[in-house]
Amino acid sequence: MKTKNTLGSSLLLVVLPVLLSACGGSSGSKDDTSPDAFAFTDEEDVGLAQYVISDAIEIEGINTETPISIEGGEYSIDGGEYTDEEGEIVNGQIVRVRVMSSDELSTETEAVLTVGDEEDTFTVETVDIALSAHAGFKNIIFSWPTVTGAVSYSLLEKADENADFIQKGRTFSSAAVGYTMDVPIHKHDWLGAEYMLQACTNASCSTTEEISLYNYMRRSIGYFKAPNTDEGDQFSVLDISADGRTIAVGAPAEDSGSRGVNQDDGNNSVSGSGAVYVYVKDEDSWRIQAYIKADYPDEGDGFGSSVSLSSDGDTLVVGAPFEDGGDFAVDGEQADNTARDSGAVYVYQRFGDTWFEQNYLKASAGHEGAQFGSRVSISDFGATLAISAIGDEMPAGANAGAVFVYALTGDNWQAVQKVQPDDAQEGAQFGSALSISANGDRLLVGAEYFTTGATPAAKTGKAYVFDLLGGTWEQTQALNASNPHDGMRFGAAVTLAADGARLAVGAPGEKSSGFGVNGEQSDLAAADSGAAYIFADTAAGFVQTTYVKSDNSDPSDRFGSAVAMNATGDTLVVGAIGESSVAQAIHGNVYDNSVTDAGAAYVFTRDADAWQQWRYVKSPNTDAGDRFGATLALDASGDSLIVGAPYEQSDATGLSGSQSNNTANKSGAVYLY
C-alpha cells in the first residue's frame, strides 16, 4: 500500500504543471514590444515652411501595445490626428510622420520616430535654387524657379567688392519668375558686383548663392545698325533724349531716294542724300520707330550730318549742311537747288508713334558754301534752337562761321539772331561744335580752327560762351586752353551741363605727353594725343578747373574728338577716335595698340570738384579703322551712353545683329551702354 501511494503522488506532481500550463499559467510567452526595423524615405527639393508627410510605415513584429514617441515633428496612426505626444501603437497599424520644412533654402529639418526600441529619422530638405542671368539689350535678364511657400522675392545687389548686399528694385510677388534690370554698362562694376535672390516666407528670408555678371558684359551692349545698312552710309551721328528712351541716328551718306517719313528704304538712287533713324524703348525693349528722309532729297545733301533731340524726344532737329536750296526763308521752296552747299535744317515733331515735318529752315542771310546745319542743338523743352554754319563768310571772310538762333513761336520756328564772336576770324569755323543749356539761355560754341599763333596754320582753336541777356544774345566769355599750341583744335567738341554752370571742351590735336587728370601739360611730344578741358562758372566767370588726358594716352589717339556731359555735370565722356588697343567692351587690355584707329571712349566722374577716370570703354567688336568714339551722347542721368563708330564695317541690319563680319565698309554703327 505504501508503494502504491508513492506512485500516485508522483503522477499527480507530473500532471499538475501540465494542467497549469494549459490554463495560461506563469510559464507562457512574454510581451514583444520590439518591432521590425522600419525606414522612412527622405524628401528633397521641398518648398519653404511647408508641412511634409512621410511615406506610410506599417509597424510589425510586436504582440502588445507598444510606446510610440517623436522628436522634431508629429505622427499619425491609421489616419488619425497628428500629435507630438507620446502614445501607444499595436501590430499592423500604419504610422505617418509630418515635418514642417525650413523657412530657408537648401536647409534640412528632421523628425525622429521611436517605436519601442526601434527608431528612424525622416529628413526633409528645402529646395536649393539658383539665380540665373543672361544678357539683354543694355540690360540683364534675371530668372529663378518659383518656390512653394515663398510669399515674395527680392533681388539683392552688392555694387562693388566693398559694398554690402542691398535690395535692387522692387519686391516681387510669389508668382514672379524673373526681372529685367537696366544696366549703365559704362559705369557698372563688372568685376566686383554680385547678385543673389532673396526668397521670403511670412516668417523669414533666405538667399541663393551670389553670382557675377562679368560674362554677360560684352553681350549686353546694345548694337544698332540701320535697317538698310549699306557701304559708306556712316550711320553714327547721334543724340539721346534726356529720359534715355529715344535715340536718333543720322547716316549722312545714305543713298536712298525715298522721301519723307517711313517710306521705302531700299532704293539707292540718290547718292549721299542722307537719312535719320529714330529708335524708341518700349518697356524693356528697343525698336525702330521712324526712317526719315528730306522731302526733296538730293545728291550729297548730307541729311543727318547733325541731329538733336528735345528732352522728351518729341522734337527732332536734323542738319543737312550740303543742301542746295536757294530760298532763304522759313518753309521756303525746298526744290530750289540754286545755292550749292548753303545748307538746311529740318524740324520734326512726334505725336504718339508718328513723326511729321514741322519746319524747313534756311539761314536768313544764307549763301553758297555756308553749310547751315553743320551742328544743331535744341533746348530741353524744345523752344530754343541753335544752328551753326561753319562756312558762313559774312563779314569776317570765308569759313569764319556763324550760329543762328531760332525760337519756337506758336507752332513754327522764327529766326531770332545771328551770333558771331567779337574776334570773328576767317577760316576759324565758328560753330564747329555747339551746345545749348537746358533752358535755352546759354550757348557754348567751338571754333576749332581759330588761330592765336603767328601763322595761319596755327589752328589753336577757341570756345565762346553766349548768354541771353535782356532778349539779346551776347558774348560773355572767350575760353582758351591752359596750354595753347599750334594744331590743338581746342573747340572741336563742346558740351554744357543742363544748367550751363559746367562745361567741357575737346582738343583732339593737343600734343602733351601727360596722362590722366591734371597731368603734365607743357611737354608737347605726343602729337595729336588730345585732351579735354573742364570749366566751372564762378563769380569771376568760367575758370578752367581740370585738364583731362586718358590714362593710356598715346600719340594720334585724338582724345577729345567728342565730349558729352550729363545734366548735373558730374559725368563726362570723351571720345578718342585714333585710340588703337585691341580691347573690347569694358576693362580691356589698354597696352596692345595693334588695331589702328579702332577708337575708344573714356568715362570720367566728379566727386566734389575732383575728377577721375572711371571707365575705359571700347566697342564689343573692336576693329581697325572703326573710329569708335567719333560721336557720343549721355542721357540726363548719365546712365545711358551712346557711342558712334562711323567706319564700322558689319553688314548687319537692325538691332542686335551679327558683328562678326566686315563686308560693309564704313556702314557705321551705334552702341548703347
Helix (H, G, I), strand (E, B) or coil at 15: helix
pLDDT of residue 9: 40
Domain 132-216 fold is Immunoglobulin-like (2.60.40)
Q: Where are the domains of the chain?
A: 43-126, 132-216
Mention every residue, 6+ apart, whose C-beta is less than 8 A from residue 195: 131, 133, 142, 155, 156, 157, 158, 168, 210, 211, 212, 213
Indicate if 132-216 has the same CATH topology as 43-126. Answer: yes
- The answer to which of 268-277, 447-456, 543-552 has the lowest mean pLDDT is 447-456
pLDDT (tens digit, 9 = 90+) per residue, 282-331?
A: 988 999 999 999 999 999 999 999 999 999 999 999 999 999 999 998 99
Neighbours of 389 (CB within 10 A): 32
Give the H/E segment covering residue 672: strand 669-672
Percentage of the chain lying above the pLDDT 90 cut: 92
**Domain 43-126 sits in which CATH superfamily?**
Uncharacterised protein PF12988, DUF3872 (2.60.40.2410)
Phi, psi of 69 (to 5 degrees): -150, 165
pLDDT at 524 over 50: yes
Q: Measure the CA dihedral 93/94/100/105, to 10°.
A: 140
262-271, pLDDT tens digit by residue?
A: 998 878 999 9
pLDDT at 448 over 60: yes
Residues 6 or more apart whose CB falls under 8 angstroms from that of 35 comprise 59, 60, 61, 62, 66, 91, 115, 116, 118
Least reliable range by pLDDT among 8-12, 154-158, 379-383, 539-543: 8-12
* pLDDT score of 453: 67
Q: What is the pLDDT of residue 272?
A: 98
Over the stretch 612-670, which tens digit does the pLDDT of each residue have? 999 999 999 999 999 999 999 999 999 999 999 999 999 999 999 999 999 999 999 99
**Cα 594 to Cα 607: distance, rounded to the nearest angstrom:** 34
Residues 440-464, mean pLDDT to the nearest whole number: 91
- pLDDT tens digits along 462-496: 999 999 999 999 999 999 999 999 999 999 999 99
Q: Is the CB of residue 141 less than 8 Å from the CB of residue 178?
A: yes
Res 657: pLDDT? 96
25 pLDDT tier (thresholds 50, 70, 90): very low
- How far is 532 from 546, CA to CA, in rounded Å? 8
Percent of the chain at pLDDT > 70 equals 95
Element housing 444 (H / E): strand 442-447
Higher pLDDT, 456 or 254: 254
User: For cell 563779314, what's the residue?
Assistant: 395
Kindly report, residue by residue over 324-363, the tens digit of the pLDDT.
999 998 999 999 999 999 999 999 999 999 999 999 999 9
The pLDDT tens digits of the residues spanning 534-575 come to 999 999 999 999 999 999 999 999 999 999 999 999 999 999
State how far the Cα of 569 lies from the Cα of 497, in Å rounded to an integer.
5
Q: Is the pLDDT of residue 27 over 80?
A: no
CA distance between the termini of the chain: 127
